[in-house]
Structure 1
Amino acid sequence: MKRLLVVDDAMFMRRLIGGVARDAGWEVVEAADGSQGVELYAELKPDLVTMDLVMPVMGGLEALKKIRELDPEAKVVVITAVDQKQSVMDAIRLGALDFVVKPFDRDRVASLLNKVGAAT
């Protein structure tokens, strides 16, 4: 079973993304901030990470950088608000595979999970 790590400070978003992933046959692990996300990545080496950019404790860009340092092959998709264009570009430069803009369409996330899942 594929494992997804959902890193987002909003419980609602973690549950929404997690629900889509579970429906697509993924195991889901949740982290409430970037620091916790990095720790869980190091421990579990999930197949995919969805990463919010704006979070307390450690933001998504820093967490993405740390995860890519731990594993240069890490698959990370940024999920963020529409007004974060520069941050999304920074995330892509740091190695993010793709991005999804909030509010998002469930089908867009499911399609992304299927695409990444087929490639791993």
Structure 2
Amino acid sequence: MAKIVKTLVVDDSAFMRNILKKILTSTGKFVVVGEASNGKEAIEKAKELQPDLITMDIVMPEMDGITATREIKKILPNVKIVMCTSIDQEKKVIEALEAGADGYIVKPFQAQKVIEELNKLFPDE
């Protein structure tokens, strides 16, 4: 039996969070335990929920995903963080990976690509 992966979905767009939740839960492997709409909220939820995985939007109000990633990695060094980015944000992706992100997925989300990327971080036993 594959391990269930507790996931926190972070995006300032409720629409994007819902799309991602559908993709994640369709696998039966990823369980969405919480959501946040900005980096500050993401840090609070990460402390509270102790997820295995966080999908993190890069561009958000209050605190961006890169800053939030740095902060969360200090508190939860083992959590996997996957950045969500639009195609034109290559510099930001590199910055995010340097901040401790473990990978990235591109918007608009393609279910197959999202699942492939996440399965690299959480291979089936």
The TM-score, its normalising length taken from structure 1, stands at: 0.92
Deviations 1:41-60 (A, max 9, x none): 01111110000000001110
Distance 2:22 2:40 in 1: 23
Q: Name structure 2 gaps, 5 residues minimum.
A: none
- The equivalent residue for 2:26 is 23
The TM-score, its normalising length taken from structure 2, stands at: 0.89
Q: 1:44 to 1:119 in 2, by over 3 A?
A: farther
Off by >3 Å, runs of 4+ in structure 1: none
Alignment counterpart, residue 84 of structure 2, candidates 75, 79, 82: 79
How many residues align structurally?
A: 120
RMSD, matched Cα: 1.5
Deviations 1:64-87 (A, max 9, x none): 011011122221000111121111
Q: Name structure 1 gaps, 5 residues minimum.
A: none
Q: Percent identity?
A: 39
